[in-house]
Amino acid sequence: MNTKIVASVILVTLGIVVLAYSGITFKTPGKPVEFLGLHIATTESHFIPPVVGALALVAGIVLLVVKPRAV
């Protein structure tokens, strides 16, 4: 399998997953806050909208369908 096929399969898979869940929300660790001697951990919430999933799906399909030109 070449790199183009692997990339297209990954894009199609991620696109289907994002569309199936109507977007994906995930959290990452944020900056810790020091307040009155207390150490408070924070998180940042991120959202991947379904439009991004649709674009990834289309891009993956295009990569699979389009044949490279003979040079």
> pLDDT tens, 10-36?
999 999 999 999 999 999 999 999 989
pTM attached to this predicted model: 0.74
User: Is the predicted pLDDT of residue 70 greater than 90, yes or no?
Assistant: no
| pLDDT single digits (tens) 56-68 | 999 999 999 988 7
Phi first, then psi, for residue 28 (nearest 5°) are -125, 155
Q: Which two tokens stand for residue 60?
A: 């993956």
> Domain locations in the chain?
3-65
**Of residues 64, 59, 63, 68, the one with CA closest to residue 18:** 59
46 within 8 A of 23, measured Cβ to Cβ = no
Place of tokens 């898979």: 13
* pLDDT over threshold 80, residue 71: no
Give the span between the Cα atoms of 70 and 4, in whole angstroms: 16
C-alpha to C-alpha distance for 7 and 22, rounded to whole angstroms: 22
